[in-house]
Amino acid sequence: MPSPYDRMIGDFLLPRRPFFRDTRIMDATRSSFDLACWRGGVPRMSVAHTHDDLEFNTAPVELEYLVDGRQVVIPAGALAVFWAARPHQLVRDSGGSELTWLTVPLAQARGWRLPGEFLARMFAGDIAVAEAARGPLDLAERVGSWGEELRPGHPLRRAAVGEVQAFVLRAAHATAAGATAGSVAGGLRADVADMAAWIAEHAAEDVSVAQVAAHVHLHPHHAMAVFRAALGVTIGEYLAQCRIARARELLLTTDEAIPDIAVSAGFGSLSQFYARFRDHTGEAPAAYRRRHAG
C-alpha cells in the first residue's frame, strides 16, 4: 500500500497563488504570458512555474535561476533566452536592479522561421546567452515602447510585432551557436536544489516522495516542507511540471503516438496524462501538437 508521502505525488494541481513581476500580478497557472515586454525590480520568485513562451531576459546584475532542476547563472548585461515550458524560477532577487523580459508564445515564434539549431537548443532545455545585450539586441532600450505598443488594440501594435520579430530572429542567430548559461551553486538551499535536479532527471520513472527525500537524507515530511517553502510548489507538482515539459518536447519534436508519449514522459495512465496536460496547457495533447505544427 502506498505511503501518505507517495500518495501526495498524485496531487499535481498548482496552488492558485499569484506572484509579482514589476507591478503585474501573474497567475502561475497561466499557459502563456502572450506577446509582451516589461521591466521591473523583483524579489526572488516564490513559485516554480511553466508557460509555453520563449522568454528573453536581461539585467545589469547576475540572475540566478533554477531551470528544469538545474541552478544556472545568467551573466550581468547578457541577453538570455529559454523555453519557459521547463519548470523555472528566479531564486535570487535582483538587489534593486531592474530586469527586462520579453515573452513570445512558442506557436507565434515557430511561425517566424527561427534557425533549426536554435529551436533544438530551446527544446533541449538550454538557456542560450548572447554575451552583451547591446545594439539591435538591447532589450532594455526597447521595453519602453514595446511595453505599451504590444498591448491589444494599440494603433502601433502591428509595427511593434514586426520589430519584435526582427529582434527575436537576430537573437536566435546570435545565440544559436553561442554559450549556454553556466551552472552555479548559489542562494537556493543545496538539499532543495539536489531534490529538484533528481526529480528532473528521474521524472519518467515511478518516483515517490520517499525516494526524493532519501536522495538528500531527509525525512519525507521534512523534505516536503523545505521543498515547498523554497519553490512554492509540492514535490508532486514539480514532478508533474517536469513530465509535462517532456511531453511538450516529444509532441513537438517527434511523431510518437500520444499514448507512447504519455509513457515516455512518466505518466501511469493515459487518462492521467490527458487530465494533467489539460490542467497545465489548457488544451489536449493532440490540439497542442496541431497548433504548433508547421
Residues 76 and 199 grouped into a single domain: no
Q: Is residue 5 part of a domain?
A: no
Q: Is residue 96 part of a domain?
A: yes
Mean pLDDT of 64-69: 91
Q: Domain containing 77: what range?
A: 18-183
Q: State pLDDT tens for residues 109-123.
A: 999 999 999 999 999
Residues 228 and 156 grouped into a single domain: no
**Domain tally, the chain:** 2
Residues 177 and 272 grouped into a single domain: no
Residues 155 and 200 grouped into a single domain: no
Q: Is residue 8 part of a domain?
A: no
Residues 151 and 265 grouped into a single domain: no
Residues 115 and 235 grouped into a single domain: no
Residues 74 and 191 grouped into a single domain: no
46, 87, 224, 282 from 233: Cα distances, Å: 9, 11, 9, 19
Grid look-up 531576459 returns 57
CATH number of the domain where residue 37 is located? 2.60.120.10
Q: Is residue 169 part of a domain?
A: yes
| pLDDT at residue 119, as a whole number | 93
13 pLDDT above the threshold of 70: no
Grid look-up 536566435 returns 172
Residues 38 and 132 grouped into a single domain: yes
CATH number of the domain where residue 204 is located? 1.10.10.60
Plot region of 217 (φ>0 → left; ψ -120 to 50 → alpha; else → beta): left
- Domain end among 183, 209, 243: 183
Per-residue confidence at 186, pLDDT binned at 50, 70, 90? low
Q: Is residue 126 part of a domain?
A: yes
- Domain end among 139, 156, 183: 183
Residues 68 and 118 grouped into a single domain: yes
- Domain end among 127, 154, 183: 183
| pLDDT at residue 42, as a whole number | 75
For the whole prediction, is pTM greater than 0.75? yes
Residues 177 and 197 grouped into a single domain: no
Q: State pLDDT tens for residues 25-46.
A: 345 557 899 999 999 987 888 8
Q: Is residue 2 part of a domain?
A: no
Residues 171 and 150 grouped into a single domain: yes
Most confident of 107-121, 133-147, 243-257: 243-257
Per-residue confidence at 24, pLDDT binned at 50, 70, 90? very low
Give the DSSP letter string of 222-242.
HHHHHHHHHHSS-HHHHHHHH
Residues 113 and 203 grouped into a single domain: no
Mean pLDDT of 143-159: 95
145 pLDDT above the threshold of 90: yes
Q: Is residue 1 part of a domain?
A: no
Calculate the average pLDDT of the chain.
86
Per-residue confidence at 183, pLDDT binned at 50, 70, 90? low
- Give exposure, 53-75, as e/b (b: 16+ Cβ within 10 Å): bbbbbbbebbbbbbbbbbbbbbb
Q: Is residue 12 part of a domain?
A: no
225 pLDDT above the threshold of 80: yes
